Amino acid sequence: MIYAANFKANHTRKSTENYIEALNAKLGAKKAEDKVYIFPPSSALDSYEGDFTVGAQNAYPTQNGAYTGEIALEQLDEFDIKTILIGHSERRELLNENQENIVEKFSFFQEQDFEIIYCIGEPLNIREKGFESVMQYLLAQFEGIDITYAKLTIAYEPIWAIGTGRSATVEEISTTHRALKNVIKDIPLLYGGSAKPANIKEIASIAGVDGVLVGSASLDAENFSTMILS
Ligand code: PEP
């Protein structure tokens, strides 16, 4: 299983250090085949040591330059960061990233040989239209994306389940993952949306779920390590 923690705009540099210390104290007990990723905010990126990979939540697709408020490759290279989240629904919706911007970012970081966790997900009104509409919506988010890229992981995150406390049902996750796996084949597929200690076992046991991308429940190291060790 893959366990990825997305801190979003939570945690400081100091609290991330404390978090990693607390997490490291637990990770010795994790299964060797399980992989852990931490995506702290940009201000807390650093060269942390431990049995996990640190990635960037976002970066501008360029080496460096006049992009106010952004970080780029140079700032990631400083800490040897070679993993990035692309296409998160909060960036699509709140930061107005369109598919064209996302494809540009994806292609740039693919060229840089980054591990990419690429997020897709449908809003509630599409889910309510039925499964065919859901799949149509999700597949459109693959437009321009090289889904054969060897260092790619996909995260399916229904937007209506993100940060709401209401995870998708086992049936919803299972049918969507099965349909997505038919398209992405052997590419690992994560589920994201209110995954937490109380539902991790159930989610992890669904066929086609290779891991979880966790927001709220990852913010506390104790909680997140409970998920990893459960
Ligand atoms: C996310 O935003 O990637 C996410 C899955 O958030 P949460 O776990 O809080 O639903």
What pLDDT sits at residue 166?
84
Atom 4, ligand 1: residue with shortest CA distance: 215
Q: Let me know: does 48 contact 20? Beta carbons within 8 Å.
A: yes
Mean pLDDT calculated for residue range 30-42:
98
The total of other beta-carbon atoms located within 10 Å of residue 71's CB is 19
Q: Let me know: does 13 contact 43? Beta carbons within 8 Å.
A: yes
Instruction: Based on the residue annotation, tell me whether 11 is a catalytic residue of this protein.
Output: no
CA 180, 146, 78 angle in degrees (round to 5)? 115
Residue 212 CA: which ligand 1 atom is closest? 5
Distance 200 CA to ligand 1 centre (A): 13
What pLDDT sits at residue 207?
97
Mean pLDDT calculated for residue range 80-91:
98
Is the pLDDT at 80 greater than 90, yes or no? yes
Distance 33 CA to ligand 1 centre (A): 23
Nearest to 159 by CA among 224, 92, 207: 92
What are the pocket residues of ligand 1 if the criterion is a CB atom closer than 6 Å to any ligand atom? Answer: 6, 157, 162-163, 192-195, 213-217
Instruction: Based on the residue annotation, tell me whether 78 is a catalytic residue of this protein.
Output: no
Nearest to 59 by CA among 114, 11, 100: 114
The total of other beta-carbon atoms located within 10 Å of residue 201's CB is 10
Q: Residue 28: what residue type?
A: G
36: Cβ contacts below 8 Å, ≥ 6 apart: 2, 3, 4, 5, 23, 27, 30, 51, 52, 53, 228
Q: Which one of the listed residues 90, 97, 122, 157 is annotated catalytic?
A: 157
Q: 148-197: per-residue pLDDT in tens?
A: 999 999 999 999 999 898 889 999 999 999 999 999 999 999 999 999 99
**Ligand 1 pocket test target in 162, 212, 218 with most atoms within 8 Å of CB:** 162
Q: Which domains does the chain have, with CATH numbers?
A: 2-229 (3.20.20.70)
Atom 8, ligand 1: residue with shortest CA distance: 215
The pTM score is: 0.98
What pLDDT sits at residue 9?
98
Distance 196 CA to ligand 1 centre (A): 10
Is the pLDDT at 74 greater than 90, yes or no? yes
Structure tokens at 4: 């990825």
Mean pLDDT calculated for residue range 214-219:
98
Atom 1, ligand 1: residue with shortest CA distance: 215
What pLDDT sits at residue 165?
86
What pLDDT sits at residue 1?
98
Distance 163 CA to ligand 1 centre (A): 5
As a whole number of Å, the CA-based R_g of the chain is: 17
Atom 6, ligand 1: residue with shortest CA distance: 215
Report d(CA 24, CA 38) in Å as an integer: 12
Of the two residues 211 and 164, the one the predictor is more confident about is 211
pLDDT exceeding 90 applies to what percent of the chain? Answer: 98
Q: Which one of the listed residues 11, 88, 97, 122 is annotated catalytic?
A: 88
